[in-house]
Amino acid sequence: MIKAISLLKRKPGISLEEFSKHYEEVHVPLAMKHFPFKRYARNYVTGGAEELGFDCVTEVWFETMEDCEAAAAFSASEAYKVISDDEEKFMDRAKIVAFIVEERVTERKKRR
């Protein structure tokens, strides 16, 4: 499984409520239509967003590296304009930080 994380900042003048509403109701369905995400999670910062410089930590998972590469190719294509045009409505695109990570998870075993 391949995981990518993006740190996103809302446009100036847009409240966190407006940002998350547009993201959830408009952008998520649009992204799901165009990207081969296995899983897509949005984590909205509830305190300290100004100090951190971002409002949302977005996580996406791809089943294979080929799916991840297909998403990257789509992002570099003219067809991506439908996504970027929507991002312009609510995100400060100049402040997007995105990267691939290697996730390691430790789960606590249930005590008897």
pLDDT at 80 over 80: yes
Residues 10/17, Cβ–Cβ less than 8 Å: no
pLDDT at 111 over 90: no
Q: Is residue 111 part of a domain?
A: no
d(CA 74, CA 87): 15
Q: Enter the DSSP assignment of 53.
A: T
Q: Is residue 92 part of a domain?
A: yes
Q: Is residue 85 part of a domain?
A: yes
Q: How many domains does the chain have?
A: 1
The CATH code of the domain that includes 28 is 3.30.70.100
Q: What are phi and psi of 88, to 5 degrees?
A: -60, -25
The per-residue pLDDT for 43 is 98
The per-residue pLDDT for 25 is 98
Q: Is residue 108 part of a domain?
A: no
Q: Is residue 112 part of a domain?
A: no
Q: Is residue 87 part of a domain?
A: yes
The per-residue pLDDT for 13 is 96
Q: Is residue 109 part of a domain?
A: no
Q: Is residue 63 part of a domain?
A: yes
Residue span of the structural domain in which 52 resides: 2-101
pLDDT at 94 over 80: yes
The per-residue pLDDT for 48 is 79
d(CA 65, CA 110): 33
Tokens representing residue 110 in the block: 């249930």
Residue carrying structure tokens 């998350």? 20
Q: What is the pLDDT of residues 17-69, one digit of tens each?
A: 999 999 999 999 999 999 999 999 999 999 877 789 999 999 999 999 999 99
